[in-house]
Amino acid sequence: MPFLKKALADANPDVRIAAAAGLYKLGEVDGLTNLIDETKTLGGAPPTTPAQELRRMARDAARARAVLKLGEVAGEGAMAALKSAQKDPQGEVRDAAAIALARLGDDTVTGPFMDAVEDADEAVRASAAHSLGLIGRDGSVVLSKLATADASASVRAEACGALGSFSDPSSAQVLATALKDKSGRVRLAAARSLARRTDPLTTAALKAALEKAPPPELSLIAQAGLAERGEDVDLSLADLTLGQGDPELKSLAIRVLGAARAPRRRTCSRRPCAATPRGACASRPPPP
């Protein structure tokens, strides 16, 4: 607890946000106050130099993250602060407030995101797709359409990434199809979303993708997703990748190896299982 309180004064806003959220989860009401403070604008004169503008943009991005965290940890208890954030002068913060409110069941705030997926600007469509993924409900059909039919690879990739937040069979099939997209960025986004999900269709899609000997990054993503759900995977690529220099690939390799080599819980053939307090199965004789 003292460590978290000290972290509230850290220079890094993400550290302060995490500390405030942690304190609130531990029952410290002041943590909620600190978290709300992180969502507020500092005011002051408008930026007059590029450096000042960059600092403002960084602060606004941090405030938007604080708004999302506020909705996540405080729920209904943060409703007033979230409604206030909807009136923030910066669009990024307003969008974060709308996403947080939509996650809490407010259907009135999702309309603008649904409308934005039809915008002529691909950056707007991509941002809307990303937001619908953060909300994680009521957007599967729209995102599936974007993932398969949008002319922009960046929009298709964002839509595929967003579909990782859903669990319906139809979107799983969309992601499986996106593994064959002409854009490598889209294929990777689809693989990451399939790896996040655990339904049977996604397991089959990841296995099918590996059969086609895809590039290393896609292979490792698929292997990580399979290994983390208890499926057996070939570890040779992950072992080889650990000796390479690409940090992202090495991180994926560690995920694969960690999941594949983690102890797996055995299921006892007898019901109910007569386990002892030490965890040994009393239904089986000890080894000789």
- Tell me the sheet residues that pair with 281: 275
Residue appearing with tokens 């000042």: 52
Q: Which two tokens stand for residue 188?
A: 């990777």
The stretch 113-133 carries a mean pLDDT of: 91
**CA-CA distance, 28 to 204, in Å (whole number)?**
45
Q: Which two tokens stand for residue 198?
A: 């655990």
64 neighbors 96 (Cβ within 8 angstroms): yes
The model's confidence at residue 36, banded by pLDDT at 50, 70 and 90, is very high
Asked if the model's pLDDT at residue 225 lies above 90, the reply is: yes
73-100 residue pLDDT tens:
887 788 889 999 988 988 899 999 988 8
Question: What pLDDT does 264 receive?
Answer: 59
Q: Which two tokens stand for residue 111?
A: 């309309």
Asked if the model's pLDDT at residue 19 lies above 80, the reply is: yes
**CA-CA distance, 282 to 209, in Å (whole number)?**
42
**CA-CA distance, 286 to 288, in Å (whole number)?**
6
- Kindly state the helix (H) or strand (E) to which residue 14 belongs, with its residue range: helix 13-25
**CA-CA distance, 62 to 6, in Å (whole number)?**
19
Nearest to 190 by CA among 226, 224, 149, 161: 161
Residue appearing with tokens 């302060």: 16
Question: What pLDDT does 267 receive?
Answer: 43
Q: Which two tokens stand for residue 202?
A: 């996604």
User: Structure pTM?
Assistant: 0.72
233 neighbors 262 (Cβ within 8 angstroms): no
45 neighbors 99 (Cβ within 8 angstroms): no
